[in-house]
Amino acid sequence: MHMNRFPKNFFWGGATAANQYEGGWNEGGRGPAMTDVTTGATKDTPRYMTYVLPDGSTGKYSQWGGQKPEGARYAVVDGYYYPNHIGTDFYHHYKEDIALFAEMGFKMFRMSISWSRIYPKGNEKEPNPEGLTFYRNVFTELRRYGIEPLVTISHYDTPLYIEEDLGNWQNPDTIGLFETFCHTIFEEYKDLVTYWLTFNEINSAIMMSSIVPDLPSETVAPGYVKLHNQFVASARVVKYAHENYPQFKMGCMIAGLISYPLTCDPKDMLANQEKMQNYFYYAGDVMVRGYYPAYAKKTWKNLGLDPAFFEKDAQILREGHVDFFSYSYYSTSCHTTHTEEPKDGAGNLSLGYKNPYIGYSEWGWGMDPDGLRYSLNEIWDRYQVPLMVVENGLGAIDTLEEDGSIHDPYRIEYMRGHVEAMAKAIEDGVDLIAYTPWGCIDLVSASTGEMRKRYGMIYVDMDDEGKGTLNRYKKDSFYWYKKCIESNGEDLE
């Protein structure tokens, strides 16, 4: 056993998001979000968005590229199941859950605030007091155990009214609404929360073109506009936080689309470099450095976008750059110019070719601890700001035994590999300050809406149809992670 590879105040913890975990979707004055009209699915079938037409008939369209018909309004429709309505019910279980996190030894807990719980439509003059009280209670409970909250301000749940009636992030007016939301929660929780992430996986706005081949530029370009408006919104609130709450630490959160060239052909090397720039570094470069990278110009040109649209906000981007960098890391993929065969290597928001040197999960996501060490080194070298790994984990099917135990050696093995990789990256010189593995308690999958794709160290009795007691059970990984934290990452047996 090595000693003291992790810094003394390392933030060991876990991560969740309101839309997938909190539930209580129509309680306490909360307004609806897009995820409330999104059905459950499986890994081979799409989630659907449901709607009602003016004549009262109802319908659905696929998240994999479908479109809402003219005149349709999003609606919860009888006969469908919407897993995010309940999540795994943090809303009613937060005390019990936080006690379990504390028992594991958490130093940090990542969660998000549901925007529509604070501003139900997004454009009200006054916030919803019940919503404010709920998060105050949660943060106070975390503090009672000495757990530092890490708050994602926007994690895939813009109020439905903004999405449907105001044109979402395509509309620059959304920036002002987001600012109002942030000013409210900053002031409200200034004594309880120090670490903030503005947008979860902000680069997801432009990911479609990396997954679906040959999309026309008219389909791809709006993602860049949306992303730019989010960059501006983030920069504005980061600047505001720095000016008004100097104790705050503001971070970005980028989906870790880390990839390799499939072969050592220099052409593959270049293809991969371009992928990494376009889908991963594009966001980090703007948010950490405070300006668009040189290669962005080429991207805009290819998509027929006017550079002036992006350049007009240069000053605020410069003034609102973040204090630390965080990302999600699940898997890696490979890129090549050598084949046109369909890509077979899936991952979080990514698609590439399978890597013969790594293993794959039941959902086909690559498992690559060395890639975590590699990416930490690359990112640290590029940005020189503290880093956090704020999502990582293995989605797998778990079995609850008669005696209430859950044996998940596969998850322990996955986590052990990634903790080892982080230890090595720290030895390499990387300034890594936090690790909050994803779905530390079972919650609804973002991509498939399933419950059976579980990430937790705490099992929640709930199935894909919404049946279950919602009782909590400790998995074997719960005890493993507790030991890991107690020994500050040294006892990984």
Active site residues: 201, 391
Instruction: Show contacts with ligand BGP in window 270-329 (CB under 6 A).
Output: 328
Stretch that binds ligand BGP, among 265-273, 353-361, 444-452, 466-474 (CB under 6 A): 444-452
Q: Which helix (DSSP H) or strand (DSSP E) does residue 181 occupy?
A: helix 173-189
385, 335 in Cβ contact below 8 A? no
Pick one of 433, 445, 458, 477: the residue that binds ligand BGP (CB under 6 A): 445
Work out whether 111 is an interface residue with ligand BGP (CB under 6 A). no
Closest-CA residue to 368 (of 396, 343, 333, 325) = 333
How many chain residues interact with ligand BGP (CB under 6 A)? 15
- φ and ψ of 26, to 5 deg: -120, 30
Closest-CA residue to 226 (of 150, 303, 298) = 303
Tell how far CA 328 is from the center of its chain.
7
Instruction: Show contacts with ligand BGP in window 356-415 (CB under 6 A).
Output: 391, 395
Work out whether 447 is an interface residue with ligand BGP (CB under 6 A). yes
The answer for residues whose C-beta is within 8 angstroms of residue 160's C-beta and 6 or more apart is 31, 32, 33, 34, 36, 37, 74, 116
Instruction: Choose between 303 and 394: whose C-beta lies nearer to ligand BGP.
Output: 394
- Give the tokens for residue 18: 């309101």
Tell how far CA 172 is from the center of its chain.
23
The angle subtended at Cα 422 by Cα 99 and Cα 235, nearest 5°, is: 80
Pick one of 97, 157, 163, 201: the residue that binds ligand BGP (CB under 6 A): 201
Stretch that binds ligand BGP, among 40-48, 137-145, 172-180, 441-449 (CB under 6 A): 441-449
Stretch that binds ligand BGP, among 205-213, 260-268, 407-415, 439-447 (CB under 6 A): 439-447
Work out whether 47 is an interface residue with ligand BGP (CB under 6 A). no
Question: Least distance to ligand BGP from the beta carbon of 447, Å?
Answer: 3
Instruction: Choose between 263 and 447: whose C-beta lies nearer to ligand BGP.
Output: 447
Beta strands in 20-147 (DSSP E): 48-52, 58-62, 73-74, 108-112
Question: Least distance to ligand BGP from the beta carbon of 348, Å?
Answer: 5
Task: Tell the residue number behind the tokens 């390499």, with chain if given.
Answer: 428
Instruction: Choose between 20 and 355: whose C-beta lies nearer to ligand BGP.
Output: 20
Decide the pairing of beta strands 195-199 and 58-62.
unpaired
Q: From residue 236 to residue 275, what is the string marking binding to ligand BGP with x (rule CB under 6 A)?
A: -------------------x--------------------
Could you list the residues that contact ligand BGP (CB under 6 A)? 17, 20, 200-201, 255, 328, 348-349, 391, 395, 438, 445-447, 453
